[in-house]
Structure 1
Amino acid sequence: MSDQRLKDIVPFVASVEEGSFTAAAERLHLTGSAISKSISRLESRLGSRLLERTTRRLELTDAGKAYYQTCIRILEELAEAESVLAAHRTIPSGRLRLAVPNTYGRLGVMPLLIPFCQHHPEIDLSLTFSDRFVDLFEEGIDVAVRIGQPADLPASLGCRHIGREKMVFCASPEYLKREGTPQDEAQLMQHQAILYERVDGSSKPWLLTTADGHPDWRNVPYRMALGDVDAQVQAICAGLGVGQMPTWLVHAQLQRGELAVILPQHQPEGLALTLVWPRRKQLLPKVDALLNALSQLTISPPLAARALDQ
């Protein structure tokens, strides 16, 4: 990258963020004419119009939006590289972007993030809740917490395995009193199932294990298939049927006696919990501090003893 290219990026980003050449000029201590010439030079070199000039405000074109996101990443990476090399930046500080799954992020990650932020007041945390596998490089994410993991990770990503889900069959005490408690797999399959519905519209089967310990996925008729795990828990607690749920999701309901475990001998392992991050960011004090904090995560909390005795 030539010096001139980098020089033109800064006025472009400032113009977008400030909304006018005049405001960008004030921010960068330049003249409005210098800002305008820099943007024109940039557009000429790229062969695309990046900004539409209106009487009130600058507006990004589609090409401008894509280029702006690239420029932001470049400037952030430069700032992070400097922070690694600067001796005075050994204290974790700066903007930190974390991506977490929706429900597990709320129940499992947030309790750790609160003391983390209190302990590191110089870190500004940006938290994204999403059940999709975000592209860390495309979206500028520093660390992601993932339940489930693609088999092959690129060498550019670091990964830390935290544990695996523990799955249990459960139902409300009222449901079991009304319908009876199944004593084996055959009886379990006769009960009304509350399943999770995937994005493609298919229902997630129940997971059992064979005599030799291999996973055995069973497609079962269901009363309800819900595309949201919180709604699934609500339906099971309301006595509408039986569900197979990860212990981290129903731990509180089991402790309060709102749910009871069925066939406690069937507790197969579910999806893995992992931390992933761009390897080039691992030396940043803020990223290292967050990885250390998140290493305390758990995905299979112990079940309440009284819940197992229901």
Structure 2
Amino acid sequence: MRLTEHLKGIEVFVAAADSGSFTAAATQLHLTTSAVSKGIARLEARLGTRLFERTTRSLNLTDAGDAFYLTCTRILAELEEAQTVLAAERNEPAGRLRVDVPVTFGRQHVMPLLLNFTENNPRLRLHTSFTDRFVDVIEEGIDLAVRIGSIDQLPDLLAHLPIGQERLILCAAPQYLRQHAPIINSRDLDQHEYVMYGRADGSISPWHFAGPDRQIERRAMNGRIVLGSGEAQVQAVKGGYGIAQLATWMIRDELQRGELVEILPELSTAGLPVSLVWPRSRQLLPKVDALSKFLACHLPSTLSSGRQQDRQ
């Protein structure tokens, strides 16, 4: 079957699914209701399955129709994107821009940059998802993703650009340090409370310390408070509930305002790498090329506070 045969009826099908009515779909597409009904019938016959459950009062997708709808909307979006790119000048970012970012880092540091980038490129339509799960960039139609973590196992279909690395420090609130024993060296930590990061499976992330030869030592710490959110950790440490090891990008403002202070700076160490990832098939698109360069220019400065950088 030729490609044009596969495409027949898709627009009619999506319009009917979106509107929940053949009549509404006909109005939207400037067709008759009969033409829409016949188009859906021909599509179902070609596919060999029912796409809609029809009653006198409602029009609902079947399970097969729901799966087919997801595929069709993606195809139509990609066709629209291709037309937009071809119509735009080659040096002007245009069309829908799908970006995926980590939840906390994305909210604090990437989103302000994306808004600025979009404001300066009015032909763009920004769609941003915030998730800490592993996102399949190609399968989910992402134009560019910001990733915190290893990218050693990236498939060949993806391109990437390292933009920096987290810096992990031990920190506490000034009032906590005033009320507890002094911390002169790492042995003194045994007398203190910890605010730890824990995952849903019950595991607790160890702390990372830099040894005398700069080798990284992973040490399990028995914290009284274990939280599954970095932002919640920050709030608990600011509240004086103990010491935490956090990435400086997460507490940059708190450090600058003096709400948190670094302790035992000699134990600070590098954390996870931060990278930009995008499909190789899209890297020549003006929108992807421009955004990758923009983020690569502005994101590195967010990964550590200015005061800490001065000591390096």
Offset at residue 36 of structure 1 (A): 1.6
Equivalent in the alignment of 1:141 = 142
Equivalent residues in 2 for 1:20-169 (5 A)?
A: 20-86=21-87, 88=89, 90-169=91-170
98-107 or 282-291, which deviates more: 282-291
Q: Match of 1:294, as an amino acid?
A: L
Equivalent in the alignment of 1:264 = 265
Equivalent in the alignment of 1:304 = 307
- Report the secondary structure of 1:265's partner residue: helix
Q: Tell me, in whole angstroms, the C-alpha distance in 2 between the residues paired with 1:300 and 1:118.
A: 24
Q: Is the 8 A contact 2:144 2:276 kept in 1?
A: yes
**Which residues of structure 2 form unaligned runs of 5+?**
none
Q: Tell me, in whole angstroms, the C-alpha distance in 1 between the residues paired with 2:191 and 2:46.
A: 69
Q: Deviations over 1:186-220 (max 9, x none)?
A: 11233211000112111111111233322211001
Q: Deviations over 1:3-40 (max 9, x none)?
A: 12101212111211222222222332332222222222
256-265 or 14-23, which deviates more: 14-23
Q: Match of 2:229, as an amino acid?
A: D
Q: Is the 8 A contact 1:80 1:284 kept in 2?
A: no
Q: Is the 8 A contact 1:13 1:72 kept in 2?
A: yes
Percent of aligned pairs sharing the same letter: 50
Offset at residue 103 of structure 1 (A): 0.8
- CA spacing shift, 1:209–1:109, aligned 2, 3 Å: same
CA-atom RMSD, angstroms?
2.0
- CA spacing shift, 1:178–1:13, aligned 2, 3 Å: same
Equivalent in the alignment of 1:281 = 282
- Report the secondary structure of 1:159's partner residue: strand
Q: Is the 8 A contact 1:15 1:21 kept in 2?
A: yes
The size of the alignment, in residue pairs, is 307
Q: Match of 1:146, as an amino acid?
A: R
Equivalent in the alignment of 2:203 = 202
Equivalent in the alignment of 2:187 = 186
TM-score w.r.t. the length of structure 1 is 0.92
Q: Tell me, in whole angstroms, the C-alpha distance in 1 between the residues paired with 2:78 and 2:175.
A: 56
Q: Is the 8 A contact 1:53 1:59 kept in 2?
A: yes
- Report the secondary structure of 1:35's partner residue: helix
Equivalent in the alignment of 2:176 = 175
Equivalent in the alignment of 1:8 = 9
- CA spacing shift, 1:83–1:280, aligned 2, 3 Å: farther
Q: Tell me, in whole angstroms, the C-alpha distance in 1 between the residues paired with 2:222 and 2:240.
A: 17
- CA spacing shift, 1:164–1:58, aligned 2, 3 Å: same
**Which residues of structure 1 form unaligned runs of 5+?**
none
Equivalent in the alignment of 2:213 = 212
Q: Match of 1:304, as an amino acid?
A: R
Q: Tell me, in whole angstroms, the C-alpha distance in 1 between the residues paired with 2:55 and 2:277.
A: 43
Matched, 1:221 2:231: no
Q: Tell me, in whole angstroms, the C-alpha distance in 2 between the residues paired with 1:7 and 1:210.
A: 65
Q: Is the 8 A contact 1:170 1:244 kept in 2?
A: yes
Q: Tell me, in whole angstroms, the C-alpha distance in 2 between the residues paired with 1:16 and 1:293.
A: 38
Offset at residue 304 of structure 1 (A): 3.2
- Report the secondary structure of 1:235's partner residue: helix
- Report the secondary structure of 2:221's partner residue: coil
TM-score w.r.t. the length of structure 2 is 0.91
Q: Match of 1:115, as an amino acid?
A: N
Equivalent in the alignment of 2:295 = 294
- CA spacing shift, 1:50–1:113, aligned 2, 3 Å: same
Q: Match of 1:236, as an amino acid?
A: V
Equivalent residues in 2 for 1:242-257 (5 A)?
A: 242-257=243-258
Q: Is the 8 A contact 1:247 1:303 kept in 2?
A: no
Offset at residue 89 of structure 1 (A): 5.6
Q: Is the 8 A contact 1:167 1:270 kept in 2?
A: yes
223-232 or 296-305, which deviates more: 296-305
- CA spacing shift, 1:31–1:229, aligned 2, 3 Å: same
